[in-house]
């Protein structure tokens, strides 16, 4: 049961990151209202593939929620529907993980079960919040809260899996280090701030896109340039923190902690590079979900580092 929990736990973590990537792709492609209702899509459990499958008066029924985009677009509809399927798959994986954590650890290491169960509760809350995002017609604040809640779920799942590894005798040579914990904590706060500002920039780009149109793509970033520079400043601050962590942790004899630190540093360099592409290449849609997913990968690795150097060995 312990091995099954760890396998499904890791699979769930990967699925959550995949869900965030798909959600980013939904936003970048403008498919957020591809399904104007929830949980069904145009009143159907299986979305339509052509306008012939919709009621003749569908524009009257869904016109307001579609924000004027009353010409049916099956590509956007299915992009949003795949996003919802990913959400359901994530929920199923978490339910399985909770079951295995209960069987394996509820009597010996109940914290692992409690973390998994709390993640399940938050996933249900996330599903409800997703419905509110749709009903609010993609309100920016709702989108930001939706994103932050997914990061919390990710952290809980990672800690549950890591506790499981430690409970089975792994990672025992790592010791708590307050100095490293402080630096890692700063890195996490900066990364969360960067993600929040990223959502604000995305909101500004959406507004600029509507007002300037595609012909004014090169001017989109100019409308939020102040936020972009602050966002970039946070990125370079995270890079500085990771360099300091690398210099300190690289002296450690533990290979796993060094790999995590190097992976985080490389991910920060990649996200800075992708951010430069977004800024100077007219905010290309394909780069946006990768940029968002890199930020989630970074904070996931930071969560792992926080566990390694903050949780005492038993």
Instruction: For residues 90 and 79, state if they share a domain.
Output: yes
Instruction: For residues 222 and 287, state if they share a domain.
Output: yes
Domain extent at residue 11: 1-170
- 314: pLDDT strictly greater than 50: no
**Token pair of 51 as six digits:** 């306008």
Model pLDDT for residues 199-247, shown as the tens digit of each residue = 878 777 777 767 776 666 667 777 777 888 888 888 999 999 999 988 8
Instruction: For residues 160 and 202, state if they share a domain.
Output: no
Q: Which of residues 131, 147, 170 is at a domain's end? A: 170
Q: Which of residues 150, 170, 190 is at a domain's end? A: 170
The span from the CA of 314 to the CA of 308, in Å, is 13
Instruction: For residues 250 and 133, state if they share a domain.
Output: no
Q: Is residue 9 left, alpha or beta, with left meaning phi > 0 and alpha meaning psi from -120 to 50?
A: alpha
Instruction: For residues 164 and 184, state if they share a domain.
Output: no
Instruction: For residues 164 and 190, state if they share a domain.
Output: no
- With cut-offs at 50, 70 and 90, classify the pLDDT of residue 113: very high
In terms of Cα–Cα distance, which of 158, 221, 232, 165 is closest to 194?
Answer: 232
Instruction: For residues 154 and 194, state if they share a domain.
Output: no
The span from the CA of 285 to the CA of 5, in Å, is 37
Instruction: For residues 114 and 215, state if they share a domain.
Output: no
Evaluate whether 153 touches 16 at the Cβ level (below 8 Å). yes
Instruction: For residues 155 and 220, state if they share a domain.
Output: no
- Angle in degrees, CA 21, 51, 65, rounded to 5: 60
The span from the CA of 304 to the CA of 154, in Å, is 11
Q: CA separation (Å) from 49 to 6, 42, 66, 79?
A: 39, 11, 17, 12
Q: Which of residues 130, 148, 170 is at a domain's end? A: 170
User: Can you give the pLDDT at residue 156?
Assistant: 92
Instruction: For residues 238 and 111, state if they share a domain.
Output: no
In terms of Cα–Cα distance, which of 1, 25, 7 is closest to 293?
Answer: 25
User: Can you give the pLDDT at residue 138?
Assistant: 58
Residue 159's CB is within 10 A of a number of other CB atoms, namely 20
- Total structural domains within the chain: 2
Instruction: For residues 164 and 226, state if they share a domain.
Output: no
Instruction: For residues 257 and 148, state if they share a domain.
Output: no
> Between residues 253 and 254, which one has the greater pLDDT?
254
Model pLDDT for residues 21-69, shown as the tens digit of each residue = 888 888 777 777 778 777 788 888 888 888 888 877 777 777 666 655 5
């Amino acid at each position: 049961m312990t091995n099954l929990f760890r396998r499904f736990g890791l699979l769930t973590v990967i699925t959550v990151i995949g869900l965030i990537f798909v959600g980013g792709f939904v936003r970048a492609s403008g498919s957020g209202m591809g399904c104007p209702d929830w949980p069904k899509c145009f009143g159907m459990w299986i979305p339509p593939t052509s306008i012939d499958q919709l009621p003749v008066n569908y524009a009257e029924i869904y016109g307001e929620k579609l924000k004027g985009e009353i010409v049916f677009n099956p590509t956007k509809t299915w992009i949003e529907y795949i996003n919802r399927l990913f959400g359901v798959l994530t929920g199923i994986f978490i339910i399985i993980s909770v079951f295995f954590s209960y069987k394996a650890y509820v009597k010996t290491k109940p914290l692992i079960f409690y973390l998994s169960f709390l993640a399940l509760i938050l996933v249900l809350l996330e599903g409800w919040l997703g419905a509110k995002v749709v009903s609010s017609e993609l309100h920016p604040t709702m989108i930001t809260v939706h994103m932050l809640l997914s990061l919390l779920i990710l952290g809980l799942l990672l800690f549950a899996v890591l506790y499981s590894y430690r409970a089975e005798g792994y990672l025992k040579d790592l010791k708590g280090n307050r100095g490293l914990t402080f630096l890692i904590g700063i890195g996490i706060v900066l990364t969360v701030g960067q993600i929040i500002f990223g959502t604000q920039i995305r909101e500004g780009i959406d507004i600029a896109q509507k007002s300037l149109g595609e012909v004014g793509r090169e001017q989109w970033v100019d409308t939020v340039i102040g936020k972009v520079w602050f966002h970039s400043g946070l990125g370079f601050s995270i890079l500085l923190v990771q360099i300091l962590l690398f210099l300190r942790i690289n002296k450690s004899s533990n290979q796993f902690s060094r790999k995590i630190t190097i992976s985080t540093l490389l991910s920060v360099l990649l996200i800075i590079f992708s951010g430069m592409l977004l800024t100077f290449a007219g905010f290309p849609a394909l780069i946006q979900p990768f940029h968002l997913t890199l930020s989630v990968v970074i904070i996931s690795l930071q969560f792992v580092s926080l566990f390694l150097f903050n949780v005492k060995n038993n």
